[in-house]
Amino acid sequence: MSTNKADKFKSLMRSPSGNQENKEEIILPTEIAKSPAHELVQISGKKKATFELDAELHRWLKVHALTINKDMVQILEEVLRKYRTETERK
């Protein structure tokens, strides 16, 4: 069986435990970057950034973001802005 396409989209499938597989993978394939939907999200003034985040920290952030009804990115942006202000003050 050819599994190229099944592999490409495996992050869309949910594992028996209810979790989506391969959720840490956030790198966009070039094909996705061409899709009209991607263009739609590009107009929001955001820039894509890819990080390897500590797994435990990532888990906490995910749960915390859900608890306070915010996006993970919103929290990271707030923390980074605070850090920037403090750093620039020194």
Partner 1 sequence: MGIVISFGIQKGGVGKTTACAITAHLLSKEARVLAIDFDSQGNLTEFLTRRDIYDFTKQTILEAIQEKNPTPYIVRITDNLDLIPAEDILSTFSRWLYRDYKGDATQALRKTIDMVKDRYDYILIDLPPNLGDQTINGLTASDFAVVILQSEPFCYSALERYLETLTVVQQRTNERLALAGILIAMSDGRAGIDNSIVDKAKDEYGPMVFDSIIKRRSRIKEFVLEGIQDSTKFDQGVLESYIGFVEELKQRVNQ
Kindly list the residues in this chain that would bind partner 1 in the complex (CB under 8 A). 1-6, 8-9, 11-14, 16, 18, 20, 26, 28-29, 31-32, 35-38, 40-41
Smallest gap from residue 26 Cβ to partner 1 (A):
6
CB 51 within 8 A of CB 27: no
> Token pair for residue 56?
């435990």
Nearer to partner 1, 38 or 84 (CB): 38
Minimum distance between the CB of residue 53 and partner 1, rounded to whole angstroms?
Answer: 15
Contacts of 64 (CB under 8 A, 6+ apart): 75
